[in-house]
Amino acid sequence: MKITYKCVFFHLIVLLSFSYPLYADRSDKCLDYIQRKYYFTVDSIIRDWEHDSVPDPELFVVKTSYFFSLASSNLLRIDKKVPIGSKAIPIQHKETGEIYYIHDDKAYKPEFVDSAISSVKTGIRLFPHRFDLRFGLAYICQEIGDIKAQVSILSQTVEHAKAYPNSVLWAKNKPIANTDSFLIQSLHSYGLYYYQTEEDEKFGQIAKLHVKYFPHSVIGRNDLGNYYGFKRLWRKALEQYMTAFTGDTTDMLVLNNIAHTYKKLGDNHNTIKYYTKVINNTTDQQVKEQALDGLNSLQKKVPPMKRQNNKP
């Protein structure tokens, strides 16, 4: 799946070369300095920049990145379970024999988070068409665990895009060509984050928002079907998958999900029908093997729905 613009804001802080060309602008320099933690230099540039007579959207990108970088600190934690996506070192309690895990974690200093949010909100107010700023705020909300605020800013962002479809801009005022496609992929990416961290309710909130604004989105319907599947609401899941299927009858992931859901509902006829469609049409060996496994297990007890190795 190709995403033209990355919706995760911290990706804006790109790793630039360590030697600047003469034409490198202040924002490029500052974003690189932030990566290298040259905070005093960035602070000095920002102070001079703020005296410019004409407001510059790149200043607010830099200020937001600067404050949010200052807010973040790495920690070591000890837990009984390994957090999803974390690398951990197991240790054993000498007396009880229990296994614990040491892993990296992040903490955020509230005062710097507040400064980052204040900066990006000011940028959005002055430059409402700059969607890198809007998605920057959504990213911050994701990182600090505020799903309510994240859903709110994403909703406002989609509504703004629908009101001004030809005015949407990205970093350096680069126009976004296909706004709907961009938003669909971005919403899916935000949902995918929660899918991978197994935060199902947050995943569901993003999927519902996705379908609300883009009811014909195949990927959005599939995401919402996955959410209902995780809750074992098979009829609701099937409804979403079938809606996705009407939008694209060749999507192998959707077909696989339909077959799996029919199997959960005990409908062997349709299970065989849709798994066969996958087997006969997919060029993805992994997807084909999943379908074959599904057919072979029809006579066995069906396990609970699990996240597949391939992304939703």
CA 220, 185, 176: angle at the middle one, nearest 5? 140
Of residues 302 and 298, more confidence is placed in: 298
Give the CB-side neighbour count of residue 50, counting CA atoms within 13 A. 12
Share of the chain above pLDDT 90, in %: 72
Q: Hey, what amino acid is at 254?
A: V
Tens-place pLDDT, residues 3-42? 333 444 444 443 333 334 433 489 999 999 999 999 999 9
Nearest-angstrom CA–CA distance, 206 and 225: 12
Mean residue pLDDT of the chain comes to 87
CA-CA distance, 174 to 182, in Å (whole number)? 13
Residue 270 within a domain: no
What percent of the chain shows pLDDT beyond 70?
80
Confirm whether 306 is domain-assigned. Answer: no
* 83 located within any domain: yes
Examine residue 135 and state whether it is found in any structural domain, yes or no. Answer: no
Range of the domain at 90: 74-107
- The position carrying tokens 């613009």 is 5
Confidence band of 138 (pLDDT split at 50, 70, 90): very high
**In total, how many domains does the chain have?**
1
Flag whether 240 is in a domain.
no
Q: pLDDT of 39-94, one tens digit each? A: 999 999 999 999 999 999 999 999 999 999 999 886 566 766 766 666 667 776 66
Asked if residue 95 belongs to a domain, the reply is yes
Distances (CA, A) of 138 to 9, 52, 141, 215, 288: 8, 28, 5, 22, 37
Q: Would you say residue 261 lies in a domain?
A: no
Q: What is the pLDDT of residues 100-111, one digit of tens each?
A: 667 566 789 999
Give the model confidence (pLDDT) of 211-247 as tens digits: 999 999 999 999 999 999 999 999 999 999 999 999 9
Predicted confidence (pLDDT) at residue 287 exceeds the cutoff of 70: yes
Judge contact between 237 and 225, C-beta under 8 A: yes
Phi-psi category of residue 267: left, alpha or beta, with phi > 0 → left and psi -120 to 50 → alpha: beta
138-146: average pLDDT: 97
Q: Give pLDDT tens digits for 247-279.
A: 999 999 999 999 999 999 999 999 999 999 999
In a domain, 145, yes or no: no
